[in-house]
Amino acid sequence: MAEAWAEALGAETAPAAPPQPDSTRVLNQAEIDSLLGFGGGEAAPEEQSGIQRIVSAGLVAYERLPMLEIVFDRLVRIMSTTLRNFTSDNVEVSIDSILSLRFGDYLNSVPLPAMLAVFKVQEWDNYGLLVVDSPLIYSVVDVLLGGRRGTAAMRIEGRPYTTIERTLVERLIAVVLNDMSEAFEPLCDVHFRFERLEVNPRFAAISRLSNACVLVRLRVDMEDRGGKVELLLPYATLEPVRELLLQQFMGERFGRDSIWETHLAEQLRHTELSLDVVLDEQTMPLSSVLSLRRGDRITLGVAPGAPVRLRCGDVPLFEAELGQKENRLAVRIVRELRVQEG
């Protein structure tokens, strides 16, 4: 009896054994986000986790090219005029966005179906990409073939583009490329030549997937029809004119300000200069110069009446004759000297 009573007391005072944990545990979304560093709120740059830094490393942050933005603004105005003449319709062209991204990311985001035109920049010896989306393709075909206004262009999905559609789009691409050459003309002489037309982005690889590019999205509106044109230029293509694209601009002067140039030229004409009349020049030892005393004479190596030179600093300007006018020494300019003669 005593032994049974002791065993009962021991069982009541002994701590309960912990439950055995399960071999597997499912994490919820909050725990997964916390583990990966994507927790609530925007973390400061110094608080980013390693995975966040790896993900953000894929973003492209390149220097702005101020002159390139002016070129695209000029392209928009030129295209608005040429496309009106091309389609005989009211066309409005506008810029949706200008951004930098990697070439591989753009190929994966091309909205299909679309036509991808590969063109070559002859003077820069590199390539670019021009993408015309499906709504604009059908709109251009409808307009050029005499479609009635006020009706949206008919879209037939699930079929390849016909020969007529490809031919009409090639004509549109030729117009756009010619406008691009004209837009770059004040900056440099360059020609964009159409190479080929593709419908599969994999066949339009003009650069390495990791290379950075400039993407310009243009919106083309033809009353109730229209679409988008996307222009892709790798930074390697723009490298030959990078210095020109980095310069600042004022309006449409493309780096030149005629008002400031006129003002500067006017002020230079009113600048006062000192002219020195040089009779003769001699080379003497330093000991002879140090031994000169008051009353010593230095014999000039020129004869009386010999021509003298007028100089501004170290630059010879004129050859003149020495004379006298109203009890003052004067010179009469005979001829102009070139800088090489100095």
Kindly give the confidence (pLDDT) of every residue in the chain, 342 residues in length, as a single tens digit, with 9 standing for 90 and above. 556 655 655 555 555 555 555 556 676 666 665 655 554 444 444 455 666 555 555 444 555 777 888 888 889 999 888 888 888 888 888 888 888 888 888 888 887 788 888 998 888 888 999 988 888 888 888 888 876 665 555 555 657 778 888 888 889 999 999 999 888 888 888 888 888 888 888 888 888 888 888 888 999 888 778 888 999 988 888 888 888 887 765 444 555 567 878 888 888 888 888 888 888 888 888 998 888 888 888 887 777 777 888 888 888 888 888 887 888 888 888 888 876 544
> How far apart (Å, rounded) are the C-alpha atoms in residues 156 and 170?
20
Record the pTM.
0.56
CATH number of the domain where residue 199 is located: 3.40.1550.10
337 within a domain of the structure (yes/no): yes
Residues 237 and 324 in one domain: no
Helix (H, G, I), strand (E, B) or coil at 19: coil
Q: Which of 327, 100, 330, 95 is nearest to 211 (CA)?
A: 100
> How far apart (Å, rounded) are the C-alpha atoms in residues 119 and 170?
12
Helix (H, G, I), strand (E, B) or coil at 261: helix
> How far apart (Å, rounded) are the C-alpha atoms in residues 71 and 180?
8
* Structural domain boundaries, residue 329: 272-281+303-342
Name the percent of the chain in helix, strand, coil, to the closest 5.
Answer: 35, 25, 40
Residues 247 and 307 in one domain: no
16 within a domain of the structure (yes/no): no
Residues 167 and 308 in one domain: no
Residues 237 and 334 in one domain: no
Residue 183 · residue 79 · CB < 8 Å = no
Residues 144 and 118 in one domain: yes
Q: Which residues are paired to 166 by β-bridges? A: none
| Residue whose pair of structure tokens reads 């008919």 in the numeric block | 154
Query: Which 8-state DSSP code applies to residue 59?
Result: S
Q: How many domains are contained in the chain?
A: 2
